Chains A and B, each alone.
Chain A
Amino acid sequence: MTNILTVKNLGKSFKSKRIIENISFEVRKGEIMAILGPNGAGKSTTIRNIMGIMYPDEGSIEFNGHPENTIPRQKIGYLPEERGLYKNVKVMDMILYLANLKDYPVKKARERALAYLAKFGLEGKDKVSVEELSKGMAQKVQFIASIIHEPDLLILDEPFSGLDPVSQETFKREIRELANNGTAILLSSHQMNVVEELCDRLFMIQRGKKVIYGTMEDVKNDYANFKCTIKGQNAPALLEMIPDVQRIEQNEDVTVLYLTQDVKIPTWIRQLPEELTIQELVIDRISLHEIFIDVATDQHQLQEGGVLNA
């Protein structure tokens, strides 16, 4: 797949503080790439550097078919984390202004805006003043404004925050559809379940540095081992006899066994001791949410068993 955006060795400091360091990744045509990390990890700084709102101290940013470090703003859609709209203007005027700034034809923008407003359940709201919209409605208008000009690259910073589950589903469907139609999407979110469901690849950043980078499948295979959750009162000594267990967490009658990477689940199940008390047993992979917590809280316990695809 064609790389739409290539970021190489990006670095940025504020005074003596290093905000991001040696950040490199690509976003490809038709894929959804997640950029993840705890608050203050450097995600928004990375995005602002890509958008040319800030200038990097080091490294390069290249857009497909454009000279290095030039930003084809009219080909990028951007929904920032800190977002808003002018309050005292009509919805359609707002969308058309942003389309105009992207050099997109007004007539076409109007048609697309009406279609998207209808798609997002905002039919007839085009002549309504922005200040009359609810927060969710305003967020939909912001989303429409970010894609109105058919961008090649769409950057979404926390697009789901503040949305109700129904609207979240609408957004997810639309984002997937855009990617299927060839738009390269860079998405930042703290909702790991959504990222896990939606994204093709991910780039995790902690304290301005890369910690994980790869496809969702690879990360899960390599990083997220199996874990077995057992409900039932069991003695620690008994649990320690179970093979291929990397780490045990016990909380009253719930025990979580973190398994080693190469474990074969059917074989492993057969090896469980007869004496084990099992009221419930669940085997699943460690979720992206748990990986995120592990990285963000600097525990790195999961890393001991997993292999970083770095």
Chain B
Amino acid sequence: MRNSLKVAKWEINRNMKNKSFIISLLSTPIIFLAFMFVPMLFNSFSADKNVNVYMHDELGVWDAVSEAVKNDEQLNWTLIQSQEDESIMLEGLPEMEQSVYIVLTEEGLAKGQMNMYMSDDMDKSFGNEVGILDELLRQVQIESIGLTDVQKATIAHRVVIVPVYAGETGAIESELKGTVLEAADPMKRIVPGVFAGIILFSIVMTGMMIFQSASQEKKEKVAEIILSSLTPTELMQGKIIGYFILGITQVFVWLVVAFPVVLWKFDFPIVEYLFVPETLLLLFIAFSGYLLFAAIFVGIGATVEDMTATSNFQGMVMMLPFLPLVFIGPILSDPSGMVAKVGSFIPITAPSILLFRLSVLEEWPWLEIIIALVILVVSIWIFMKLAGKIFKMGILMYGKNATPKEIWKWMWA
């Protein structure tokens, strides 16, 4: 183990002194933030533009609308009460800038349709902002038909359809409760899930560098010199540990940059969401995912000397971490469906699918989680053993890339 740690330290130092690693380490969060802020900046440009909202009010809702607009910080309206006739307003509107004319009439209320006229420079999406009037107008509509208070309350109360499987009727109560309580704060699951997902993504990406590192060892013919001081297993372990720490360092740097920005910009209690027991399990899944892929990368990397002549087989191996993307559609539509369950039990797809499911599911399917984790841990053990065998043979084979047939033989040697 001491020797493995020496190798790990070397790999960390070597990469930390490597300009391209440092550049990618620092540039990635900057690029992410740029992607996040540039659209926000454009939005804010358009949002900053004040809209003159002329309102012709026959329904007597002016005060309520003014109050609602005042309370909504997102709206940048200048509300102007218009006494003008509709035809006169329509004549002048094409000449105006950033202006809309909303006509609230009894007739419109009866027909269930109110017109909003916009100047040419207005964006169609402004229609969403006007949604603030919907509820007010509905109230006026209800008032106008002379119902009792009970009837009014009944109509105002929406009917919710709750999906429940036939075998789980007993869960209706909790589902209902869940929709009220949990749905109120889905971030409680999503934030730790996204956090673990970022860690998995980062360490697996860094883990791909193990492939290059093992291959480089062969190409630059250093392997035999190194192996005169330690065993192939120690070398392999050292690489896996080293790149794990590099991956974690990468996440740490990202977080150091991202945390203050998120806290400042979004006023989001991210720390509260993260420091929950669930995060530990999600992190365990992320780390397991890394170990699995690291074993694959280090083993296969030792079979490749010339990266440019890498066969389809090795290329396909590099694509393995992206396999869960194949299942993403069905899992998004039904996180508890058959595809999601099967994906959780396949070692290669399990880490990312589990992280995704556990982020969106309100009730965690503990039995499935335990079975999936047992499969994952056993698979890691088997993959590590096989990777060790491939690494041992592959790292000392000079002059050519190993064929899948050779790799297969080494695995069972």
Contact = CB atoms under 8 A, between A and B. Distances in A.
Interface of A: 48, 51-53, 73-74, 76, 78-80, 82-89, 93, 97-98, 100-102, 142, 145-146
Given A84-B220, A85-B220, A53 B227 contact: yes
B252 interface: no
A101 B7 CA distance: 8
Contacts, number: 61
A83 B6 CA distance: 21
B222 A74 contact: no
A87 B17 CA distance: 13
A74 B227 contact: no
B409 to A, nearest CB: 10
A80 B222 CA distance: 9
B229 A85 contact: no
A53 B398 CA distance: 14
22 contacts: A53-B228, A53-B396, A73-B229, A76-B228, A78-B225, A79-B225, A80-B225, A83-B221, A83-B225, A84-B225, A85-B222, A86-B14, A86-B216, A86-B220, A89-B14, A89-B17, A93-B13, A100-B6, A101-B3, A101-B230, A142-B225, A145-B225
Given A83-B222, A85-B225, 5 more contacts: A73-B230, A84-B221, A88-B18, A142-B225, A146-B225
Given A86-B220, A100-B6, A101-B3, A74 B225 contact: no
Contacts of A79: 225
A48 B225 CA distance: 11
B327 interface: no
Contact of B225 (A87, A93, A98): A98
A100 B8 CA distance: 13
A86 B223 CA distance: 10
Contacts of A74: 229
Interface in B88-117: none
Nearest to B9: A100
A76 B221 CA distance: 19
A101 B229 contact: yes
A53 B224 CA distance: 8
B390 to A, nearest CB: 16
Given A85-B222, A86-B220, A87-B220, A80 B398 contact: no
B271 to A, nearest CB: 39
A129 to B, nearest CB: 10
A240 B366 CA distance: 98
- Looking at B3, B13, B225, the one whose CB has the most chain A CB atoms below 10 A away is B225
B10 interface: yes
Interface in B1-49: 3, 6, 10, 13-14, 17-18
A80 B14 contact: no
A80 B228 contact: yes
B147 interface: no
B237 to A, nearest CB: 14
A86 B226 CA distance: 11
B229 A83 contact: no
A83 B221 CA distance: 5
Given A80-B228, A84-B221, A86-B14, A101 B396 contact: no
